[in-house]
Amino acid sequence: MRYLILSDIHANALALEAVLEHAESQEWERVISLGDLVGYYTEPEQVVQRVKSLQPEIHILGNHDIYLLDMLDGNPVPLREESIVTEVLEKHLNELTPESIEFLRNASVHHVADDFEAIHGALRNPWEYVTTLQVAQQNFDYLQKRVCLLGHTHVPKIFAAINSGKGEMWRTVSFRSESGFYRSPPKAKIFFNPGSVGQPRDGLSLASYAIFDSSTLSFQLYRVAFDVAELHRSVKAKSYPEVLALRLMVGK
C-alpha cells in the first residue's frame, strides 16, 4: 500500500493545496494524517474540511488539536494564557464548525497497523520531540512494528537502527533537497518524520510531505513551494501574530 503522509499542516491552507496539487502526479492510494491540523495559521476550517475530504485511513491527534479540544471543553491546558499558541487557538475556536470539531475528536493518539505504527510525537511520551538520535534510541524499546511514522518536530528526518550482524548500527538521515528517497534495510527499525506541510523548521521555506510504501518500507519525501507572501498578507488581514508569518520566510 502506498500512503500519502501529511503532518503538521497547522491551518496553512495555501501550503496544503500546494502539496495536494504536487501529489496529484505521484502514485498513492490512501492518506495518513499525523496530526496538528490546527494552530498557528489562518484557515483552520478550510484545512480540517480538506483533510476530512481525503478520508484519511489513519488520522492522528496532534498536540495543538488536543489543546484546542481541551480549551473548548474547559479542561486544563499546559500553556500560558498569553501565549501565541493560546491566542491562535482561541481564534480557531470561533472559526471551526461543529462538524470539524467532531472530526478532530475522532482522531487517534496512537495507531498500530499490520506493517507500521503512527503517532504524533513519540512512543514514550505522545508530545515528546524526537529531535536527536539519543531521544530516538530511548524510544526504540517502545516500538511494536519495524516502522513508526511521526511528526511534531516539523523537520523531515529518519532515525534507523540497522542490524549489521555485529550488533545494531545507528543512522540518521536528513532531507535537504526538493526530493529524497530511503528504503529500509532488512530487519532495520525506523522512525520516519515527513516534516511539516504548514510550518517547516529546517531552514527551508518549503512545505514537506511524503509517500510511504508499506510493502517495501520505503519513503519518498518531497518539498513544495507555496505562496508565503500571500500567507503573510492573510496573517496581517486576520490579525494573527505576524511573527508566525515571518518565521516561514526563513523556514524556522
Which residue in the block uniquely carries the three cell numbers 480540517?
Answer: 48
Has residue 229 got a pLDDT over 60?
yes
Give the range of the structural domain holding residue 136, as residue numbers without chain letter: 2-249
Q: Give me the number of domains the chain comprises.
A: 1
Reading the block at residue 36, the C-alpha cell is 496538528
Among 24, 35, 21, residue whose Cα is nearest residue 194: 35
Q: What is the CATH number of the domain that holds 225?
A: 3.60.21.10
CA distances for 100 relative to 6, 53, 58, 88, 196, angstroms? 18, 11, 16, 17, 21
**What was the pLDDT predicted at 212?**
98
Mean pLDDT of 147-159: 97
59 vs 80 pLDDT, higher one: 59
At 6-43, the pLDDT tens digits run: 999 999 999 999 999 999 999 999 999 999 999 999 99
Q: Is the pTM of this model over 0.75?
A: yes
